[in-house]
Amino acid sequence: MALILSRKIIVPIENINLSHPLKTNPYPELKPFMQRIAKQKKKIKKQLGIIKARQREIEMIIYNMKEGFILLDAKGAVRSFNAIALEYLNITAEDIVFEIPHLQSMNTEITSMLDDTQGEDRHFECVIGERTLYIVALPVRVKNMLQALALLVIDKSAQKQAEDLRKSFSANVTHELKTPLSVILASSEMLKSGLVKQGDEQSFLTKIYIESKRLSTLIDNILRLSFFDENTLELEKSYVDLYEICKRVQKNLMPLAQNKNIHIYLLPPPQSKSEIWGISSLIEDMVYNLVENAIKYSYEDSTITISLSHKEQYITLSVKDEGIGIPLEEQERIFERFYCVDKSRSKKLGGSGLGLSIVKHIVGIHNARIKLVSKVGKGTSMSVEFMPYET
């Protein structure tokens, strides 16, 4: 009888739906207890909502981080990540990181850290593919047992590339300055010592003048690039007539072109205005460099064409020559400082490899775009797209 009675009492209790304890309560005597359960349930639901909201916040932060973030379990399987981390490490979300061959250098550092149970984290650099990565590894341990591993991945390739460029730039500056200085010093020393034959003095003086001029131009270009790098060049923008600037450049460079019997044609302007919002002196420098470069690398008895055109909301300046052209594999490098496609020709013509680098900076200052189309032996076309009015 006791067993039967207890079952009759317990079965209704076992059938209570804890999702709705007050509605399914079989006994009035249990009402205070059911109310306590319902209250606790609401509290837990609220806490879960807060936890989920924070989890979404963390996920959004991780997703929008500029750095890579990846969370691994003890076996190296990916548990959480952002797309940048997968891109930097060149893996997928299904990979076991500790088993990836091209991550050996990173895994060696991580293994060394995990073997040291007293170590909290590890900072190190490694090269993966073409990237130089700075990695912060943070182990999560419970009772000295690894539960998870968080990796913060930072791409230092750009910084390393900038350091390499600075070193290369310093070396090139030293070399480019040393060459004309050596000629000037040697020539002046010979003149001073009386070692120059009578009648040859004028040629030595001419050589000193040419190298001094080359040195002065080189220093001016280096200083200008330094101003661009440091953003210390502050000039006011105004409406600039691009066609008038092209006319002045054509006139100023005509003597240089005539030395090679090169004809510079400036096509008539479009019917609409050719005004842009910019810095007149810099725009003139840019056009001058483009046309001068075209003259230097053009064949004798050839043609250079300067033209302006309108397309949608852009005004496009184009300088087209019939020169030696640029090989496809070198076209991405022509805007690097001191880079010359034909070094022997550049030396003969007094080129330093800084002209197009200056052009690139001026284009950037004006939020313009530069395009290159070139074919070896057929010539090169440089186009710069400007917004016609200030935006």
Phi, psi of 119 (to 5 degrees): -70, 135
CA gap 332, 325 in Å, rounded: 13
* 263 — pLDDT class (breaks 50, 70, 90): very high
* 377 — pLDDT class (breaks 50, 70, 90): confident
Look at the block and give the residue holding tokens 């070139």.
374
Query: Which secondary structure element, helix H or strand E, spans residue 114, and what is its range?
Result: helix 104-115
**Neighbouring-strand partners of residue 374:** 380
Structure confidence at residue 158 (pLDDT): 63
* 108 — pLDDT class (breaks 50, 70, 90): confident
The pLDDT tens digits of the residues spanning 91-100 come to 888 888 888 8
> Mean pLDDT over residues 207-236, rounded?
66
Q: Is the pLDDT assigned to residue 390 strictly greater than 50?
A: no
| Inter-axis angle of helices 355-365 and 201-230, nearest 10 | 30
At a CB cut-off of 8 Å and minimum separation 6, what does 282 contact?
A: 235, 362, 365, 366
CB neighbour class for 367 (10 Å; exposed up to 12, middle 13-18, buried from 19): exposed
Phi, psi of 386 (to 5 degrees): -115, 150
CA gap 24, 5 in Å, rounded: 20
The pLDDT tens digits of the residues spanning 112-137 come to 877 766 656 788 888 888 788 888 88
3-state secondary structure of 4: helix
Structure confidence at residue 305 (pLDDT): 92
* 188 — pLDDT class (breaks 50, 70, 90): confident
The pLDDT tens digits of the residues spanning 285-316 come to 888 888 988 888 888 889 999 998 887 778 88
Q: Judge whether 356 and 289 are in contact, CB under 8 Å.
A: yes
Per-residue CA distances from 130 to 47, 90, 159 (Å):
46, 11, 13
State pTM to two decimals.
0.49
Q: Is the pLDDT assigned to residue 56 strictly greater than 60?
A: yes
The domains located in the chain, with CATH, are: 2-61 (no CATH), 65-155 (3.30.450.20), 159-234 (1.10.287.130), 235-391 (3.30.565.10)
Tokens read off for 277: 């919002």
**Neighbouring-strand partners of residue 168:** none
Q: Is the pLDDT assigned to residue 175 strictly greater than 50?
A: yes
